[in-house]
C-alpha cells in the first residue's frame, strides 16, 4: 500500500507523513527530495513551476512508487499532487491511496512564514492554491487538527477498509 499525503505547501504533509509512516511501520519519502536542482532554484527564487518543470519529477515519483510496490513495501509519500493529471501519473491504475491535507491560506501562510530551512518561497502559496484541483477520490483531512489526531484519523480510516473516500474524515 502506498499512501500519498497531498496538498499545498505548508499543509503538514511531511510532519503527518513521518508520523503516519512510523505508526504504520513503513517507509516515508518527501517528494521534495525528488525535484531536480533547477526546480529547487526556481521555487527558491519565488517562481512557480510549470507543468513542463513537473513532468520529470512526477515520472521519478511514479518510478519510486512502482519500486515500492514491486518490492511489496508499504510507503507514505508527502507530495503536493495539486492537479488530477499529476495524481493520474502517480497512480495510473488507481493503486495509490490519496489523503488530501485540506486547509485555507489563512491557516497555511503563517506556517510557511515561520518555517526555516526550506527552499519553498512563501510567496508561491497563492500559485499553489490557484493550481489546486481538489480531488474527488481522496480522503479529506482538516489540517486544523493536531498532527497526532490527523494520523489517528487516517489509521482508523485505513483499518476500516477505506469506505466512502470522497467524504471528509470525521
Question: Among 31, 97, 36, 30, which Cα is nearest to 69's?
Answer: 97
Q: Is residue 105 part of a domain?
A: yes
Q: Is residue 164 part of a domain?
A: no
Mean pLDDT score, 119-144:
79
Confidence of residue 104 (pLDDT cuts 50, 70, 90): confident
Q: Is residue 125 part of a domain?
A: yes
Look at strands 139-142 and 97-102 and give their pairing.
parallel
Q: Is residue 169 part of a domain?
A: no
CATH code for position 140 = 3.40.50.300
Q: Is the pLDDT of residue 139 over 80?
A: yes
**Number of domains, the chain:** 1
Q: What is the pLDDT of residue 170?
A: 35
Q: What is the pLDDT of residue 105?
A: 79
Q: Is residue 82 part of a domain?
A: yes
Q: Is residue 7 part of a domain?
A: yes
Q: What is the pLDDT of residue 169?
A: 35
Q: Is residue 39 part of a domain?
A: yes
Q: What is the pLDDT of residue 118?
A: 52
Q: What is the DSSP code (8-state) at residue 92?
A: T
Mean pLDDT score, 131-153:
91
Q: Is the pLDDT of residue 158 over 90?
A: no
* Alpha-helical regions (H) of the chain: 13-24, 37-44, 51-70, 84-90, 105-114, 125-131, 147-159
Percent of the chain with pLDDT over 70: 85
Mean pLDDT lowest among 21-25, 76-80, 104-108, 121-125: 121-125
Query: What average pLDDT does the chain have?
Result: 84
Confidence of residue 165 (pLDDT cuts 50, 70, 90): very low
List of residues 6+ apart from 110 with CB closer than 8 A:
none
Q: Is residue 168 part of a domain?
A: no
Q: Is 168 helix (H, G, I), strand (E, B) or coil?
A: strand
CA 44/CA 47 separation, integer angstroms: 7
- Backbone phi and psi for residue 52, each to the nearest 5 degrees, phi listed first: -60, -40
CA 62/CA 23 separation, integer angstroms: 24
**97 burial class (0-12, 13-18, 19+ CB within 10 angstroms)?**
buried
CA 103/CA 88 separation, integer angstroms: 22
Percent of the chain with pLDDT over 90: 50
Q: What is the pLDDT of residue 95?
A: 83
Identify the domain containing residue 114 by its residue range.
2-159
Amino acid at each position: 500500500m502506498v499512501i500519498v499525503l497531498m496538498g499545498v505547501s505548508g499543509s503538514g504533509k511531511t510532519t503527518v507523513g513521518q508520523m503516519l509512516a512510523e505508526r504504520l511501520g513503513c517507509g516515508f519519502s518527501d517528494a521534495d527530495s525528488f525535484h531536480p536542482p533547477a526546480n529547487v532554484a526556481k521555487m527558491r527564487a519565488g517562481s512557480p513551476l510549470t507543468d513542463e518543470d513537473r513532468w520529470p519529477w512526477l515520472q521519478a515519483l511514479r518510478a519510486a512508487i512502482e519500486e515500492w510496490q514491486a518490492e511489496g513495501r508499504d510507503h507514505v509519500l508527502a507530495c503536493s499532487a495539486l492537479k488530477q493529471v499529476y495524481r493520474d501519473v502517480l497512480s495510473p491504475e488507481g493503486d495509490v491511496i490519496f489523503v488530501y491535507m485540506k486547509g485555507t491560506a489563512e491557516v497555511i501562510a503563517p506556517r510557511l512564514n515561520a518555517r526555516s530551512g526550506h527552499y519553498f518561497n512563501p510567496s508561491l502559496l497563492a500559485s499553489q492554491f490557484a493550481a489546486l484541483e481538489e480531488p474527488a477520490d481522496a480522503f479529506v483531512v482538516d489540517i486544523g487538527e493536531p498532527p497526532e489526531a490527523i494520523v489517528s484519523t487516517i489509521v482508523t480510516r485505513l483499518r476500516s477498509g477505506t469506505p466512502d473516500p470522497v467524504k471528509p474524515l470525521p
